[in-house]
Chain A
Amino acid sequence: MTVTAPTVEPSADQPLLDLLSGFISELRNAGLPVSLTENLDAMEAVTHIPLEDREAFKYALGATLVKNHAHWRAFEVVFEVYFSLRGPEYSIVDAGESGDPAADDTDEADMAGDGQAGSGGGGMSALTPEQLAEMLFKALMNGDDAMLRALARQAVMRFAGMEPGRPVGGTYYLYRTLRNLDLDGMLDRLMEAARHEAPNDLTRLEEHLERDEFRDRLDRLKQEIEAEIRRRLVADRGVEAMAKTLRKPLPEDVDFMHASREELANLRKAIYPLTRKLAVRLARKRRHGRKGPLDFRSTMRHSLSYGGVPAEPKFRFPRPAKPEIMVVADISGSVAAFARFTLHLVYAISSQFSKVRSFVFIDGLDEVTGFFEGVEDIGEAVHRVNTEADVVWVDGHSDYGHAFGVFWEKYGKEVGPKTTVLVLGDARNNYHASQSWILKEVQHRARKVFWLNPEPKAYWDTGDSIVGEYGTWCEGVHEVRNLRQLEGFVENLV
């Protein structure tokens, strides 16, 4: 087989090729590692795909360009932006909606069943908000996708208040639209109706199933709305500008301190496979690292087959010493998410350490090792740390000095030459006394002290941050703003 260069039919596909190279460079801007060969593969792949089949086209590009599932969402967004204006059912239709035969036909057919055919798809803009909400309720109740799509479009047109040329991001419009639709209230209403319709009372199982079904439909509605907003923005501002504003960091690059709720949820999902991968990799490294000392017994035993000449030396299985870890984490509001992820990661690979002890503080300090002992679900334990640990001493504002004082007084003796101490926090001490002599003492006793700071390096030692002062007494101060950096640090630590 020979790979033909992507010069196939250049004349006919020239606009497509241009579009594709723009698309690929945007993928690279979004952080996806697209190599030249993959680029060529994609160009060749699309020549085999009928262009009018949008789904197949998307999967062809996905299969050749995206080699990591975590990047799929980013790919989808860019794809939407670049190719959203193609295909009849995705065209933008203003007020009348008359130029949208595909969607309207199905709408009308479906609504005829509901006895509302009179208004039809075309007349939706004439509805009152109450009627619209009612239709939405019905569509959600029946799981009517075509209707949902039409309603999403209508909702965006009506509530988002999009103005051409206004430099506002898509999330703003999304927020405005969703606020008007009141989807939480909608969910309650749907559940109420489901309970009403059921012959008997719903059992908890049934209730659960119904709720998940409705949530699923609501999610689909949200996606439709989002897509619609995106389409309109692209039409207004052009592809390149839009792609830039919609660009989102990949999960491993999301900043802990500024992650939105959705991003945090994604992070939590990303951390499971990450810890598993890390554990496998570390275990392998440990086993394959180097050979242990000479195993005299085994060597002699094997020498028998060479007539007593020890021709084949045998070595013991390597057993490198495992470090003992003490994690001291600031869990005050601003850095809580960071502490949570780090604790999670450290405990997930705790088999790589001989012992892990953890302490959390805000202005008081509490040992939380017990929460993790014998617990299978680390996420649950981390949650308990955040809710149950006794970490407030005076006012619940970070006080590193006092927290270190408590640590030194209560646990200082237990820091030994095998212990590696990790301090997690932004070192924003609210202008309290730094008590950095404690850290000096700790460093003196411990094997190593590392400080992990979730703030960008440029902000260190500005305002009330005194990471520089503490850093003097640490083997290393690392900027750990995202999962990628955290993973890198933990791997080096072991």
Chain B
Amino acid sequence: MADHRFADVSGIRKALSDAKYLADDGTAGIVYLADRLGKPVLVEGPAGTGKTQLAKSVAEITGARLIRLQCYEGLDESKALYEWNYKKQLLRIQAEGDGSSWSDVEEDLFSEEFLLTRPLLEAIRAEEPVVLLVDEVDRVEVETEALLLEILSEYQVSIPELGTVEARQVPLVFLTSNGTRELSEALKRRCLYLYIDYPDLEREREIVSAKVPGVDENLADQVARIVRSIRQLDLKKDPSVSETLDWARTLVLLGIDQIDAQTATDTVNVLLKYRTDIDKVVKEFADNPAELTDTSA
């Protein structure tokens, strides 16, 4: 079992927190399992809770190369898996004199030399350890998902002209999804499932402390508490962790070390991006809401 990357769960948690990724128990445990079982991890959760960052951080702590496939509507085989370099193939045909037979040329044309690897194939063929990140997999159509199935369960890619390319090593695979649509059963079945929710108070405080330079304990605590209270309100879009961090940075830059209602409502537009949400928060928290909305207008 020498080829496992991690010795135990607490080791992962430690390494991740050294890389400034503060994982909760579940996250570290599932990364450990992904390594042991050789299974991909499907990470779901609201936007801005560090799903993509998890893959990056794992790549960092294992010293692996991160290969990223950004998904979008209309993604197809030639962008995700491989493509034949037809210009080069044309040149090859033209360079050929009359001498050689067709079968030679044909055999030559469909060799690895003329193959353009795209992220998925690249991850499979890599000699060195890699982490494959398939980002926002919910953006592709259901039919395109099928492209991923072979690689996710068998770690191989079948190319009709070449045969099957098998993985030289089992890469760690992360798929992220914002849950804009239900992923297919087939995909889910092949993955370990991890849901990253908004962090609890304690962890959010730690994240702010770790990620924002120059923030003191007291400010981090206040930021985390206010953000938690804001998430309790019924908003259109709850503040994400990355927005929390932006807010904390803003406060540090402004030289604020004590958040009162006035500063909170003045800077809340860093945290919230919808007019109605901002109004709601101002109404809830300000001492004198009418006056404040007037000045901000």
Residues of A within 8 A of B (CB): 1, 33, 35, 37-38, 41, 44-45, 48-49, 53, 55-56, 59-60, 62-64, 66-69, 72, 203-205, 208-209, 212-213, 216, 273, 276-277, 280-281, 284, 288, 376-377, 379
Contacts and interface: CB of A to CB of B under 8 A. Distances in A.
Given A63-B193, A377-B236, A216 B30 contact: no
B54 to A, nearest CB: 14
B232 interface: yes
A1 B185 CA distance: 22
B25 A38 contact: no
Given A45-B37, A60-B33, A376 B261 contact: no
Contacts, number: 108
Contact of B181 (A33, A56, A66, A281): A281
B236 A212 contact: no
B15 interface: no
8 contacts: A33-B185, A41-B192, A60-B29, A63-B29, A204-B287, A213-B225, A280-B181, A288-B141
Secondary structure dominating the interface of A? helix
B264 interface: yes
A333 to B, nearest CB: 23
Contact of B179 (A48, A53, A205, A273): A273
Contacts of B33: 45, 48-49, 60, 63-64
Interface in B20-45: 25-26, 29-30, 32-33, 36-39, 41-42, 44-45
Given A1-B170, A72-B195, A203-B287, A67 B42 contact: yes
Nearest to A379: B234
B84 interface: no
A94 to B, nearest CB: 31
B234 A280 contact: no
Interface string B188-211: 110111110100010000000000
The 10 A-B pairs with the shortest beta carbon distances in the complex, nearest first, are A1-B38, A67-B188, A205-B261, A59-B26, A63-B192, A48-B36, A59-B29, A69-B195, A205-B285, A67-B193
A395 to B, nearest CB: 33
Nearest to A56: B29
B9 A53 contact: yes
Nearest to A281: B181
B270 interface: no
Given A44-B37, A205-B261, A56 B226 contact: no
Contacts of B9: 53, 56
A244 B197 CA distance: 29
A145 B251 CA distance: 32
B170 A67 contact: no
A278 B155 CA distance: 33
A280 B285 contact: no
Interface in B120-147: 141
Contacts of A44: 37
B39 A204 contact: no
A377 B44 CA distance: 25
B144 to A, nearest CB: 12
Contacts of A53: 9
B86 interface: no
Nearest to B264: A205
Nearest to B3: A1
Contact of B229 (A1, A37, A209): A209
B260 A205 contact: yes
Given A55-B25, A64-B192, A208 B284 contact: yes
Contact of B276 (A63, A67, A69, A377): A377
Contacts of B234: 379
B186 to A, nearest CB: 10
A67 B43 CA distance: 10
Contact of B182 (A37, A64, A66, A277): A277
A67 B25 contact: no
Nearest to B284: A208
B274 interface: yes
A63 B31 CA distance: 10
A434 to B, nearest CB: 39
B26 A1 contact: no
B286 interface: yes
User: Which residue, B25, B180, B189, has most C-beta atoms of chain A within 10 A?
Assistant: B189
A66 B32 CA distance: 18
Contacts of B276: 376-377
User: Which residue, B188, B195, B275, has most C-beta atoms of chain A within 10 A?
Assistant: B195
Contacts of B287: 203-205
A37 B260 contact: no
A62 B24 CA distance: 14
A204 B260 CA distance: 10
B118 interface: no
